[in-house]
């Protein structure tokens, strides 16, 4: 938990084990989108198979410039952001801390 550069691991309140987001594996296996994707009224999130060039997400990735968080950590994250201003966030963080 302490090593995760994104601090996204947490102790599951009921199972009392350490977990992180698994894209709602239980839903995906049944052909449903992850809960956060389905719940978002403005469609800000998208989930899909990047190996399939015909999928909506693969097409979007092919046409839009994307960024990831903390690329320098070499974790090869697969959460991509469109129109994310990483520099602005980094500077903001520094101001908040000091």
- Binding residues for other proteins (CB under 8 A): 1-8, 10, 16-17, 69-70, 73, 89, 92-94, 96-98
Cβ distance to other proteins smaller for residue 38 or 56: 38
Cβ distance to other proteins smaller for residue 16 or 78: 16
CB of 70 to other proteins, least distance (A): 8
Find the farthest-apart pair of alpha carbons in the chain and give their distance in angstroms, rounded: 47
d(CA 91, CA 96) in angstroms, rounded, equals: 9
d(CA 56, CA 48) in angstroms, rounded, equals: 7
Cβ distance to other proteins smaller for residue 26 or 70: 70
Q: What spatial distance separates the first Cα and last Cα of the chain, rounded to whole Å?
A: 25
CB of 42 to other proteins, least distance (A): 16
CB of 98 to other proteins, least distance (A): 6
Please give the torsion angle defined by the CA atoms of residues 80, 81, 85 and 89, in that order, rounded to the nearest 10 degrees.
-70
């Amino acid at each position: 938990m302490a090593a995760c550069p994104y601090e996204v691991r947490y102790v599951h309140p009921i199972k009392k084990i350490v977990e992180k987001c698994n894209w709602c594996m239980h839903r995906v296996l049944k052909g449903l989108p992850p809960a956060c994707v389905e719940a978002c009224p403005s469609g800000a999130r998208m989930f899909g198979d990047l190996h399939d060039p015909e999928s909506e997400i693969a097409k979007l990735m092919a046409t839009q410039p994307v960024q990831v968080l903390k690329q320098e950590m070499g974790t090869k994250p697969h959460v991509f952001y469109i129109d994310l201003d990483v520099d602005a966030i980094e500077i903001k963080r520094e101001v908040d801390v000091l």
